[in-house]
Structure 1
Amino acid sequence: MADDELGIPDAVAAAMRDELPSVAEQTVAAIVVEVPSYADAFGGAMGRTISNAVQLALGGFLVLASAGGGGDASTPIQPALDGAYALGRGEARSGRSMDALLGAYRVGARVSWRHMAASGVRAGLTAEQLARFAELVFAYIDQLSAASVAGHSDELATSGRVRERYLERLADQLLGGGPRQDMVAAAERADWTPPRTLTAVVLPDARVRGALTSLDPRTLRSSVEVPGPVTSGELVVLLVPDAEGRSRPALMRSLREAEAVVGPARPWDEVAGSYARALRAVELGLTGESPEALDTETRLTDLVLRADESALADLRARALEPLADLGEGAREKLTETLRSWLLHQGRREAVAAELFVHPQTVRYRMGQLRELYGKRLEDPRTVLELTLALGVSVGDGLTPGRLPGP
């Protein structure tokens, strides 16, 4: 028997086409039962739309499979292909995976074949024509499935790029600051749920990929150009959610070899302050040569004292002016003793132990300092200036006030 004699006679195709509305309805009903993901999606208007799409696909197949169709039924006509492609994109937008859609195709093919075969037999299809019909039905479904897979993949790729751009713009906006309502709107556009806090992390671009594998998946990456040392390469800013309190040590461990500078945790819409802190640490060169991550929370003294280098230099020159006329050796010893005295709040034995000298030596040097400074060493402002000039912070245990007595 010739190939064209295996096609569906026009009269049979017409009889089968009359039953397409009923076949489509039963196909949709079976899919709802057997593929739970579609239980809600196929209700109401959506159900009618998909039922119409099923009729379109099957009707197109009947045209191609009929004896007078003049085409190969294993190659779907373009409207059916376009419909299948659009269905795949729609599924991706709805958040459903291809597993559900392919399951629906399998159920649809089985149910459609069963009902259309029954119609064909009633209309007089021979056994050979029925076998050929089955072959073409499943080849047709395979082609439609492939079109839907392509649509699903394209939509994910496109929507992924679009969302990535929105997230990047959100990160840039957060670093730039501005009205909170604008940031909330940007977060909504990016489909990003704001966390309690964000922590700015500045690190080399080459380290970003490795760092992201261990960071919160909600982490944002900014496209802001970060100024930094020429030797560090291009720097990137990441904004890490909810890395405060007990979570901070875990963040630091995850960035252990990332050459990162980590700012403080701040409310998510105030993360610009965290970035400013981290950027200042980079500008001051506090990172050194180590690949270890730098926690700016442990370098607050350096950040405060070096906030204005020229002002600190002027303060140091004024505070230490009484020592200016001494020889280098004597000036160094007295400066060292004064700093230790401030740090240890006048505990002579502690000063002596730190400097590896006898307590009487400490008494002698402090006598010299009192002669040079006079009553100014009893002035709280002078003590504060000396504390700052010599790099002793309140966190070291000294409360600015009068110089501790012997």
Structure 2
Amino acid sequence: MKPLVSGAAPWTDLPVDIGHRLRPALPSVAVEIIDTIAREVPSYSRPLEGTFGAGVRRGVEVALNRFLDLPGSTQPALQPRDRDVYLALGRGELRQGRTLEVLLAAYRVGARVAFRRFAGLARESGMDPDAVVALAEAIFAYIDELSAASVEGFATEQSHRAGERDRLRGRLLELLISGVADDTAIEEAAAEAGWPIPESVVPIVVPREQSHGLALRLGPAALVARSGEFVVALVATPTSEQARRSLHRQLRGRRCMISLPTPCRDLAASLRVGTLAIRLLDSTPSDGSPGSGPVQVADRLVDLVLRRDPALVAALAERELAPLAGLSAGARQRLTETLLAWLAYRGERNRVAAALHVHPQTIAYRLTKLRQLFGEALVDPDRRFALELALRAATPEPTPRDNSSG
């Protein structure tokens, strides 16, 4: 809501003396407003005692007194000291655990009661009917201004709390990552951050550009904070397949790595693995749609080991796959995928054919060619192992799956 522009306020056209005519009734109008709010707004139905009661009464009294100062003037609805009252009421709603709608409902009730009483008194004093209509417009425009101030106060408090919570959770994550903080310090920091420490967690490493709305999506049970160039979320380790699937649904659409389960005291090692994984591994999920979901580090450990030192892997691939170097690109690809499938399925020709969707006779032909190229390397266990490592490192696609019933 935007504040009204000075000079365009509807109370400018009200008779200047209307405030003097209505002010004697102000105490009884205030009582009626408070009673009606307590009756019609359930959250305000409790006895108006203590700070809560004082806040409600002050809000009503300041609102009525200030409004009766406005007729015939071009003043803004609220002076700074008056506005502070409604900013504070907005902040107080959040601190009391209520939604802002409760306060705005109370404002609407107050406006309705004030107009009914003030309009009746104005008519009794002989006010022109057109002026009564202007009075209605002025009251409801004025309530909009009060509401806008409280909305701002509520939002400011939300922002302050979010910032403070982020600071506390960031500090807690730093303590957990450090590996040197004692249990007492961690427990105190966790209590301040409002995060019960699970027995086991999985760190989720997310690039900052993918982290928007992550904390909201994962809920208050997750500890979400920045760590260097990434955002890290700690969630309790899923203990069932259903829980694991639920976590994947929550992360759908984000490029991220779910690292290895770990006690919080050993977080640093698992977080290091997750960070390394997101730097080294292609995070395209198994369904082939980039960015449509997380990657489970536990499912990619072999890839991670292979890519840990690209120079060594490149040297291994160059040495072991040298017999394929002189072939055309198409022939090299066909023989590469055939050799990898043959190694994966331990030489079972029919399974290799099913996985590659070709005739077994075609596989037989390719294997003859591979034996000519690689010779004794295909029967030596150590060379076969080195070949499979080199092929897996050099092949971006996963090993073809045999979908046959056998």
Q: Match for residue 238 of structure 1?
A: 232
Residue type at the aligned position of 1:202: V
* Separation of aligned partners in 1, 2:137 and 2:47: 25
* Preserved CA contact (<8 Å) 1:26 1:111: yes
**Equivalent position of 2:244 in the other structure:** 248
Match of residue 102, structure 2, among 100, 114, 118:
100
Query: Aligned AA for 1:145?
Result: D
Q: Which whole-Å CA distance do the structure 2 matches of 1:253 and 1:58 have between them?
A: 52
Choose which of 268, 277, 286 in structure 2 pairs with 1:281: 277
Is the counterpart of residue 50 in structure 1 residue 56 in structure 2? Answer: yes
Superposed CA offset, 1:184-229 (max 9, x none): 44444444555565422234444334x8499523444432224xxx
Q: 2-side partners of 1:257 and 1:237: how far apart?
A: 16
- 2:43 alignment partner in structure 1: 37
Residue 51 of structure 1: how far off its partner (Å): 1.5
Partner SS state of residue 73, structure 2: coil
Cα distance in structure 1, aligned partners of 2:265 and 2:47:
37
Matched, 1:159 2:158: yes
Q: Contact 1:6/1:132 (CA < 8 Å) preserved in 2? A: no
Shift of 1:36: 0.8
Q: 1:147 is matched by which residue type in structure 2?
A: L
* Pairing of 1:168-187 with structure 2 (within 5 A): 170-171=169-170, 173-174=172-173, 176-178=177-179, 179=181, 180-187=183-190
- Could you say if the C-alpha distance between residues 51 and 138 of structure 1 is closer, same or farther in structure 2, counting changes exceeding 3 Å? farther
Match of 1:298 in 2: 299
Taking the aligned partners of 2:216 and 2:78, their CA distance within structure 1 comes to 46
* Aligned residue in 2 for 1:340: none
**CA deviation profile, 1:265-299 (whole Å, cap 9, x unmatched):** 33456543431221233465576998474322124
Shift of 1:35: 0.7
Number of the residue aligned with 1:199: 202
1:15 to 24, 29, 33: 24
- Cα drift, residue 9 of structure 1: 7.5
- The whole-number CA distance in structure 2 between the counterparts of 1:89 and 1:295 is 42
| d(CA) in 2 for partners of 1:47, 1:264 | 52
Q: Which amino acid aligns with 1:52?
A: R
Q: Aligned pairs, how many? A: 325
Q: Who is 2:227 aligned against? A: 224
SS of the aligned residue for 1:24 comes to helix
8 Å contact kept, 1:199–1:240: yes
Cα offset for 1:4?
7.8
Cα separation, 2, equivalents of 1:277 and 1:160: 33
RMSD: 5.2
Q: When the two structures are superposed, what TM-score results if normalisation uses the length of structure 2?
A: 0.58
Q: 1:86 corresponds to which residue?
A: 88
Structure-2 change in CA distance of 1:76 and 1:173 (3 Å): closer
- In 1, Cα distance between the equivalents of 2:231 and 2:140? 48
**Counterpart residue number, 1:401:** none
Q: Which residue of 1 aligns with 2:370?
A: none
- Match of 1:294, as an amino acid? V
Tell whether 2:144 aligns with 1:142. Answer: no
Q: 1:80 to 1:137 in 2, by over 3 A?
A: farther
SS at match of 2:98: coil
Change (3 A) 1:79 1:299: closer
Q: CA deviation at 1:117?
A: 5.4
Shift of 1:108: 1.4
Between 299-308 and 51-60, report the one with greater CA deviation.
Answer: 299-308
1:295-317 deviations in Å (ceiling 9; x for gaps):
221244566788899999xxx9x
Tell me if structure 2 keeps the 8 A contact 1:198–1:239.
no
Q: Does 1:62 align with 2:56?
A: no
CA 1:161 to 1:270, structure 2 compared with 1: closer, same or farther past 3 Å? farther
Q: What's the counterpart of residue 325 of structure 1?
A: none
The answer on whether the counterparts of 1:168 and 1:220 sit within 8 Å (CA) in structure 2 is no
- 1:34 shift after superposition: 0.1
Cα separation, 1, equivalents of 2:61 and 2:23: 14
Structure 1 residues 101 and 155, CA, compared in 2 at 3 Å: closer, same or farther? closer
1:27 counterpart SS class:
helix
SS in 2 for 1:58: helix
Match of 1:166, SS? helix
Q: Cα–Cα, structure 1 residues 104 and 138, in superposed 2: closer, same or farther, change >3 Å?
A: farther
Percent sequence identity over aligned pairs? 26
Structure 1 residue runs of 5 or longer lacking an equivalent are 227-235, 317-327, 330-342, 358-364, 370-382, 393-406
Matched residue, 2:319: none
Supply the AA of the counterpart residue of 2:297: T
3-state secondary structure, aligned to 2:258: strand
The 8 Å contact of residues 201 and 240 in structure 1, kept in 2 or not, is answered as yes
Distance 2:104 2:45 in 1: 15
Instruction: Check conservation: 1:203, 1:260, Cα contact below 8 A.
Output: yes
SS at match of 2:259: strand
Provide the rounded CA distance (Å) in 1 between the counterparts of 2:261 and 2:153. Answer: 38
Q: Is the 8 A contact 1:113 1:134 kept in 2?
A: no
